[in-house]
Structure 1
Amino acid sequence: MESEAAIPRFFLYGEENDSDDSEFVHIESIAARSEKQGWKIKPHRHGKLFQLLIIYQGEAKILLDNKELSFDGGGAVVVPTGVVHGFVFSPETLGHVLTIAEPLINQAAGSRAMGLFDTVIHSPRILRFSSNSHHPQQLKNYFDLLSAESDSSYSGKRHTVEWLAKLILMTLYREIEHCNHQGLGANQPNQGYYVFQQLVEKHFRQQWTVARYANQLQMSLSTLNRICKTVKGVGAKAIISDRLFIEAKRSLLYTQLNIDQIAYNLGYDDPAYFSRFFKNKSGLSPKQFRQLNPFDTEF
């Protein structure tokens, strides 16, 4: 294996002039570049670029850092910044290559979605799509939209291209999550957390206790808390509480329900207890929060 210093560092395949291009997203078909090179891309790395390959049809031999892997179509290859990668594709391979420059990735660093994007952008992986998932078709649709938008001359093109790139990352995260749920054993943290998260979404308004969630999951309280801390860094109670708080804010901002109605909808028998909960989380009473964030809505 070549040393890192000897491995070419390209802007895109074979383009060594790493310029400060104002465009942060680039998309092309796999054939556009690899066909000209005999369907072979020599090992190289990108200094400030993240890449995602989607292969719909065809076979590939893939080098990711020191691992050589074989792949048959119907999946994705994730190449984080700085990871050495190379490919040998079978002729007529169908797929896309999405390249996202570091500034766009960094732009998301302050957003709530960054925790989800972290799962996608920092670990090299080959993801074989699940046969019972709708996310692969969504990804293909989004890639087709992104390709068409990139070739267009519409106003707002740059913003739309970047939004679609982020939508692709989010959809890939959901497919990773789906595959974890399908393929991992019940004792694995990601799968355990995924099922817990789905239960919270169904039952947070019913004010289920942590013990009830653990019982439904057929695990101990300590196991559930350990899983939550491993995946999210906080215990199960904090995750349930945060979900309630998010819904409370949505109701205060985007509905005209009075505070007592919101409290009852979130499972509180005593609106005063809801108000204390909300103030502990935000530092403001529900009434103060609504007054400081007036949204005109018909709902």
Structure 2
Amino acid sequence: MNNQNVFTLINPRTGNLAFKLLPFGDNSHFDHLQRNNFFSLIWVTKGKGKVKADFAEHHFEENSLLAFSPYQPFMLCVSEPIEGIAIHFHPDFYCIHMHQKEVSCSGVLFNNVYQPPFVKITDEASSTFKMVLDQMKTEIQNTDLAQYESLVSYLKIFLITASRLKNQQLEEMKSVPNSKEPFILQNLKDAIEDNFKTKHSAGNYADMLNISAKALAKISKNYFNKTLTDLIAERIIIEAKRELYMTNKTVKEIAYELGYDDEHYFSRFFKTNADVSPQLYRETVGFGKMAD
């Protein structure tokens, strides 16, 4: 892909990538494990394959929008050549946590441990995306006043469109006969959301739901495509990342709030799952945004 089609903004204060539009005509950007310090939205307009993300693998088709958070591990393995465009943005450029009420994409597009990390794009959404991307390309070349604010406005439209679409598709899936997830699954999700800060083992949840650990493990693997232990770990890491980014709390304080008395054990757990230490995550992604 010709580099002149790539549009990049660098944060002058940190030297880090702030915002980037990356058209791609093959899989060379994503055929190896990615662990980036920014958010990625990858719109695959042609081709198909599978995405390996965190602890699971999922198949994707053309016209899928894949969404990944900072330091979320992922790679694409294609069965048909892919084309499309990627949007990368650093949390310093636009923080989805701080603006959750505006765009509602955390827990839907990003940071949803229970769903595949993509949404199927409709013709209507495709038209919106194309229009927004054209505006972004024009704006990123315009160094006039308020360029940043204008780009953020277009990014919001993109995120809101994608989040609404994913919510709509999740609702439709629930209403289709025979695709209904077992009742125990919703109970498991609720149990993890309510208890992940204090209960870290798969056995805890089996006891809580009055089901054998083996049966619960099978349900988790069948429906989430990942083990229950991985599911719990992923949920803890998402919360830890949020706290590291959003607050000035020390790593020790965050560890304690997530049920870990030993800060060093927690740091090792974080590094094993995020492939980066809590300190380095904070240095490269940012922190203390709510303290201003």
TM-score by length of 2: 0.48
More helix by share: 1
Point out the structure with max Rg over C-alpha: 1
Structure of greater relative contact order (alpha carbons < 8 Å, 6+ residues apart):
2
TM-score by length of 1: 0.47
